[in-house]
Amino acid sequence: MPPFDFSAFLSRRPLLLAPMAGVSDEAFRTLCREQGADLAYTEMVSAKGLSYANEKTRHLLALAPGEERVAVQLFGHEPDTMAAQAAWVEDELGESLTHLDINMGCPARKIVSKGDGSALMKDPELAAAIVRAVARAVEHPVTAKFRRGWAEGDETAPEFARRMEDAGAAAVTVHGRYAEQLYRGSADWGVIARVKEAVGVPVIGNGDVRSGADAAAMVARTGCDAVMIARGAEGNPWVFAQAKAALAGMPEPAPPTAAERVAMARRHARLLADREGKNIVRMRKHAMWYLTGLPGASAARARINACTTPEDFDRVFDELLEHAG
């Protein structure tokens, strides 16, 4: 496998699957890559968990069959721990690793209450120290993902991005909401453009990309170097094929039919079963995402939440297909 050229990769304006806790496992990454995602990130990985040699945490680094490349996102607030575990990840994944991303954008209370995720936006000096320590500890590129700012109405992303660049970040990803917004309201793509003007490193745009048209519009309005898709891919891996077409100036593929959505959900359930044995509980939320809008989907929620095997899901899917037909 040839060495991965991070700069050349970003110069092609790639489509990226975001690191999403409880979502971006190897099963989901497989489906999104098949639909056109150029690169997928792991779920965010706790550096502290890795430092304890926690097998549940290390399991998040497992690659899917045929997954030659992956980006890994770490979260934490201790520079030395982050650096040591980044070096461990680099050794563990070898040539399969494209780069290491530092999570400075997750707004979840259980993350920020420990000083991790978007809490780092309140302490730019610590955030820069983490990037600096990790960049010194590894040979792979180091990037940072953050939000428009911490407090609503106080945009700090452009200056924050400059600090990360000065600390050694090879690229930055900007989500157009404030941390305090969580996922309310709309992402402001204007901040992506302002960060792009503020730094010399590549800028990856993130937030509210739910269609191919959205991806093309984000690039046109911001000049971003890559597009990262997160919640827009939940139950909709096809968004990558649509985005790829739109960015190439081609007509977008037709939305998936009910039968295609159910077929993808069945496959997803089996991929999860292969990965986690009989524990495919996380398929319940994926099933609801795939089935959103189909006749009978809301009424089937209780049955979906009782499913524990692929066969259980199949029975619910069969009934919904009869309604959809």
- Positions marked active-site: 106
Q: In what order do the strands lie in the sheet with 45-46?
A: 39-40, 15-17, 226-229, 203-206, 171-178, 142-149, 97-104, 70-75, 45-46
For residue 170, how many other CB atoms are within 10 A of its CB? Answer: 20
Token pair for 280: 């495919």
What angle, rounded to 10 degrees, do the helices at 239-247 and 212-222 form? 50
Residue 29 phi/psi, 5-degree rounding, is -60, -40
Q: Under a CB-based contact definition with an 8 Å cutoff, are residues 194 and 201 in contact? A: no
CB 196 within 8 A of CB 203: yes
Tell me if 143 sits within 8 A of 172, measured CB to CB: yes
Residue indicated by tokens 């619910």:
316
* H-only helix segments in 138-208: 157-167, 190-198
